[in-house]
Amino acid sequence: MNALVLTSLQAANADPTIRAMADYLTQKLGLSVAFANAPRWQDREALFDRSDAQLAWLCGLAYAEKRYSHAAPIELLAAPVMNAPHYAGRPVYFSDVVVGADSPLRCFADLRGARWAYNNPGSHSGYNITRYHLAKLGEDGSFFGRVVESGSHQRSLALLLAGEIDASAIDSTVLETELLLRPELAGQVRIIERLGPSPIPPWVLRREVSPILAAEIRRCFVEMNNDPAGAALLAQAQMLRFAPVTDSDYDPIRQM
């Protein structure tokens, strides 16, 4: 194999990191690595499922569902460790329940009857963990007054800022990137609850990639923080490093 294609099911604001990853792997592996950045996440997922892309940055829920699928035999490569203190040096993330900065809503219990948006039903951070949290409270979707599917975390934020919804659960890494790109957002939204931690979305590899090449790719990920170019890429992405992960690390998602 003299070329690889990678793709991602992450939010669009992660695309610059993924392009940088493709360039980095091209340099380190000595073969062409391209980023398949189809506009819709569903199209990107289809590329990976039919083996037109060999590497993917999946949602943890998508990984948990695909791990034993005959349609997409895959294995874990590594998972990011974010650099903010609340991640405590672990490959985890959170779902931040956000409201408008001037909202009277102060905690999750206040959301009864509220207008709620989720990004899509295939998302752990925007959908799955909210359902789990409601179940733990003895509630279901009727807890909210109105529920809409926005299509993305960024769209949920836009609906919130436009006053069309009252709250949404946003992937903490997506929110932190948005705050970096749009500092004014810090004065416009407020976190009232942090759900998690959950196992962070992993990078995965299709198993038709040769074991020798797979080992080289995995090494590039887990040793990236020891390489100056890799460390610079990680810093730009607000990451400390990539950590090895195992299938059992994603059992908490399966149990939700």
pLDDT tens-place string over residues 169-222: 999 999 999 999 999 999 999 999 999 999 999 999 999 999 999 999 999 999
pLDDT per position as a tens digit, 90-107: 999 999 999 999 999 999
| Whole-angstrom distance, CA of residue 37 vs CA of residue 47 | 10
Percentage of residues in the chain with pLDDT exceeding 90?
91
Q: Taking the CA of residue 180 as centre, how many other CA atoms within 13 Å lie in the half-sphere pointing to its CB?
A: 13
**pLDDT for the residue numbered 2:** 81
φ, ψ of residue 147 to 5 degrees: the values are -130, 130
**pLDDT for the residue numbered 1:** 74
Q: Which residue has the higher pLDDT, 70 or 142?
A: 142
Tokens representing 136 are 């733990």
Topology of domain 92-198 in CATH is D-Maltodextrin-Binding Protein; domain 2 (3.40.190)
Topology of domain 3-83+201-254 in CATH is D-Maltodextrin-Binding Protein; domain 2 (3.40.190)
SS3 for 1?
A: coil
Q: How far apart are the first and last CA of the chain?
A: 38
The conformation of residue 214, written as its DSSP 8-state character, comes to H
> Is the pLDDT confidence value at 71 over 80?
no
| Whole-angstrom distance, CA of residue 9 vs CA of residue 57 | 6
pTM of the model: 0.94
Query: Where residue 68 falls among pLDDT bands split at 50, 70, 90?
Result: confident
- What are the residue ranges of CATH 3.40.190.10 in the chain? 3-83+201-254, 92-198
**Residue 146 burial by CB count (10 A; 0-12/13-18/19+): exposed, middle or buried?**
exposed
